[in-house]
Amino acid sequence: MIADYCKANRHKVSMPKLDTASDENNSRTYQLKDGSNITFTNQGYFVIDNLIVEETNNNTVQLNNQKNTIQLNSKKSEMDSQSLVNPDYTSTLTHSVSEYNFLGWKLFTVTTEGYFGYDHQSVQPYHLDSWYVHNMPLNLWQISNWEDGEYLTSNNTAEVYGQGNFHYGFEYRGNSITVQNYYIKVYLSCDRNGNYGTHYSITDLNQKLKIGPLNLEF
C-alpha cells in the first residue's frame, strides 16, 4: 500500500530530505512538494508532518498584553518564566503530525501551536493551543493522559508541546486486548537566538499484543 501511495502521489514526493534509517526502526523520511515531510516505517504505518508559519507580529501582541495585563492561555509556572530584555518574537508556529495506517487511511492528527520570545541571552515559550483530531468515522483509537503546555529545557532552549497516549483494543466482560498503544509527543523548540524547529516522537508502548486478565465463567 505504501508503494501504491508513492506511485499515486509521485508528483508530490521529492528526493529524500533525511535518511533516518536505522537497525531499530528502518524508517525513511522524504520531503513533499508542499514542504511537508512523509516518514515510512517498518511498523506498518506512515506519518506526515507539516509546519504552518503565520506571519503575525507577536511583538505587538506582547506589547498589548503588557498594557492590558492579559494572561496567555498556557500552563506556565514561575520556574518556566524568564525575563527578557528588549526581546524579539517568532511568528506563530503550528505543527501538525498525522498518522496513517498501511491502507493509507488517516487515523488521527496531533497539533501544537505557539511562539517564542528571545533576546540572544535567553528564550521564553508561549503555548497557545494543542489538540488532536480523530480522522476516521467509528475510530477505535482512544486518547488518555493528554498534556500540553510549555517549558524551558535550559536557559538557552524552550519547548511548546502536546502529548498523550493513543491506543486501541477490545474489552468484553472484563477481558481486554490492547492491539496498539503509542505515546505521541508533538512539539516546537526554539533557542535564545530565535532558531526554531519542529519535532515529534512516537513511542510504541505495546511491542507485543497485550492481553488483560481473563475472567472466564462456565
- Structural domain count of the chain: 1
In the 8-state DSSP scheme, what is residue 60? Answer: H
- 67 domain residue, yes or no: yes
Measured between alpha carbons, how far is 162 from 171 in angstroms, rounded to an integer? 28
Residue type, 17: K
Highest mean pLDDT among 64-68, 132-136, 192-196, 202-206: 192-196
Is the confidence at residue 81, as pLDDT, over 90? Answer: no
- Per-residue b/e over 93-118, b at no fewer than 16 CB within 10 Å? bbbbbbbbeeeeeebbbbbbbbbbbb
Measured between alpha carbons, how far is 124 from 152 in angstroms, rounded to an integer? 7
pLDDT of residue 179: 78
63 pLDDT band, cuts 50/70/90, is low
Of 133, 91, 93, nearest to 113 (Cα)?
A: 93
- 77 domain residue, yes or no: yes
Query: Containing domain of residue 175, as a range?
Result: 43-211
What would the pLDDT profile of 94-126 be if each residue is shown by its tens digit?
999 999 988 898 999 999 999 999 999 999 999
What would the pLDDT profile of 135-185 be if each residue is shown by its tens digit?
877 777 889 999 999 999 988 999 999 999 998 877 666 676 777 889 999
- 14 domain residue, yes or no: no
- 97 domain residue, yes or no: yes
Question: What DSSP string runs through 102-161?
Answer: TTS-EEEEEEEEEEEEE-SS-EEEEEEEEEEEE-STT---EEEEEEEEEEESSSSEEEEE
Measured between alpha carbons, how far is 146 from 82 in angstroms, rounded to an integer? 26
Contacts for 24-30: CB closer than 8 Å, 24+ residues apart: none
- What average pLDDT does the chain have? 78
- 68 domain residue, yes or no: yes
Strands (E), the chain: 13-18, 28-32, 37-40, 46-54, 88-89, 92-100, 106-118, 123-134, 142-152, 157-172, 175-191, 196-204, 210-211
pLDDT of residue 161: 98
**Cell 480522522 -> residue:** 135
- 20 domain residue, yes or no: no
pLDDT of residue 12: 54
- 168 domain residue, yes or no: yes
Higher pLDDT, 92 or 181: 92
Whether 120 contacts 156, CB under 8 Å: no
What would the pLDDT profile of 194-208 be if each residue is shown by its tens digit?
999 999 999 988 765
Residues pairing with 17 in the sheet: none
- 37 domain residue, yes or no: no
What would the pLDDT profile of 2-39 be if each residue is shown by its tens digit?
555 555 555 555 544 443 333 345 689 999 999 999 99
